[in-house]
Amino acid sequence: MAVKIKKGDRVAVIAGKDLGAEGQVLQVIPAKRRVLVEGINQVTRHEKIRMGRRGNQEGGISHREAAIDISNVALVCPNDGPSRVGFRIEEATGAKVRVCKKCGTEL
């Protein structure tokens, strides 16, 4: 199965604790079938506070995104919101284009 989601896509979460949230894809990890989405599945890390090389403090509490399963997100169509994605072959060029299955808009 082809990976339908690309870096930079706007996606919505359709399952899990961030259900309904939307964000931009920061990274796709095809081997693990996971995606990293801006602002989604934030995890808090507690790091030991230490002195950095330039004398500034490093560590403490930080927030960062953790990757989520690619099947838990859907591409957002400007017309329909989260949608299923299909592919269409452009007759003129033979290029494969990604389209919304509901309205046919190129995504």
Binding site for Zn ion (CB under 5 A): 77, 79-80, 83, 100, 102-103, 105
Residue for token pair 């002195």: 51
Give least dist CB 52 to Zn ion, A: 48
The three-state secondary structure class of 87 is: strand
* Contact assessment for residue 20 and residue 39, using Cβ atoms and an 8 Å cutoff: no
Give least dist CB 66 to Zn ion, A: 29
Nearer to Zn ion, 37 or 100 (CB): 100
* Contact assessment for residue 37 and residue 75, using Cβ atoms and an 8 Å cutoff: no
Give least dist CB 5 to Zn ion, A: 16
